[in-house]
Amino acid sequence: MNGKKSFGGGGGRGKSSGNQQNKDGQRRPMFRRRKVCKFCSDKIDDINYKDVRMLMPFVPERAKVLPRRISGTCALHQRKLRTAIMRARQLALIPYTTE
Amino acid sequence: MSRKYELVYVVSPEASDEQVADLHTQVEAIVQRIGGHIEKTDNWGRRKLAYEIGRHKEGTYVLEAIDGGGELMKEIDRRLKVTDLVIRHLIVRVDEEQGVVDRTRANRTESSRRRRVARGLPPDRQPGEGQRGEVDDDREDRFDMGEELR
């Protein structure tokens, strides 16, 4: 555990030195949180159309499927998610669209 | 050739409980006539529909897990289509996906056990262990955090 932390700290120092160079007139690079596939990290193998509570975060207010570039879902799970959402829509568990 | 299917049908909200039970016995009769069996029946009760179907805003959902052949499901599909009381239904084949899920799950536990043994730990996770490590990993992912604090 100790080893890990020191590694993380080293990474941080490296970045800060890069930043000071940027202070001379240049824009700071944007830092984003690395996106991780929710289904991979939580080890959910089975994306089921019956589990509406699990699907809802991927169906934002206009009831479209949340794109991969935003949710960070991996290709395999996005594909499974899509079929699950389409099935749930057929059964009126999830709307196709909202007015 | 036996396959596993899931059938979900939405019954019109005007239907009484007897009518819903009657539909279930009808499905059961078809299943038994063509040679299969119902593994599980689950009545989800009355739910709000996500959108209006016809003029209905609610429906009673019933799930049946059926073990049988394709011909059987075709017949059930045909019957449910002509039943006015059923406003929506869906038949999904589940055995293949279930097999894949079971295999990945088995592979994962197997490989994690092997890794644990290689690290000189007991193969199964002990109570109270592991959770802290996962939290640490999550913080390590946040490589932007150092910047924000500065």
The domain limits of chain B are 3-96
Quote the distance between the C-alpha of residue B92 and its chain's center. Answer: 10
How many angstroms separate the CA of residue A62 from the nearest CA in chain B? 13
Q: What pLDDT shows up at residue B10? A: 94
- Contact across the interface for B51 and A95, Cβ inside 8 Å: yes
Instruction: Give the closest residue to B40 by CA, choosing from B79, B82, B5.
Output: B5
Contacts of A45 (CB under 8 A, 6+ apart): A39, B100, B101, B104, B105
C-alpha span between B80 and B30 (Å, rounded)? 11
Q: What is the pLDDT of residues A64-74, one digit of tens each?
A: 999 999 999 99
Q: What is the mean pLDDT of chain B?
A: 84
Q: What pLDDT shows up at residue A66? A: 94
Instruction: Give the closest residue to B62 by CA, choosing from B91, B33, B29, B84.
Output: B91
C-alpha span between A4 and A79 (Å, rounded)? 34
The owner of tokens 């932007």 is B144
Burial A63-79 (b: 16+ CB within 10 A, else e): eebbebeebbbeeebbe
**Which residues of chain B register pLDDT less than 50?**
133-150
**Which residues of chain A register pLDDT less than 50?**
1-22
Q: What token pair was written down for B114? A: 């092997």
Q: What's the length of chain A?
A: 99
- Top residue of B92, B102, B129 to mutate, by most chain A CBs within 10 Å, is B92
Residue of chain B with shortest Cα separation from A9: B146
- Contact across the interface for B59 and A19, Cβ inside 8 Å: no
Partners of A45 on chain B (C-beta within 8 Å) are: 100-101, 104-105
ipTM over the 0.85 cut-off: no
Instruction: Give the closest residue to A40 by CA, choosing from B137, B148, B89.
Output: B137
CATH code of the region B3-96: 3.30.70.60
Q: What token pair was written down for B119? A: 């690290």
- pTM recorded for the entire structure: 0.72
Partners of A46 on chain B (C-beta within 8 Å) are: 97-98, 101
Q: What is the pLDDT of residues B75-102, one digit of tens each?
A: 999 999 999 999 999 999 999 989 999 9
The owner of tokens 């240049």 is A26
- Burial tier of B69 (Cβ tally within 10 Å: 0-12, 13-18, 19+): middle
C-alpha span between B31 and A91 (Å, rounded)? 22
- Contact across the interface for A33 and B144, Cβ inside 8 Å: yes
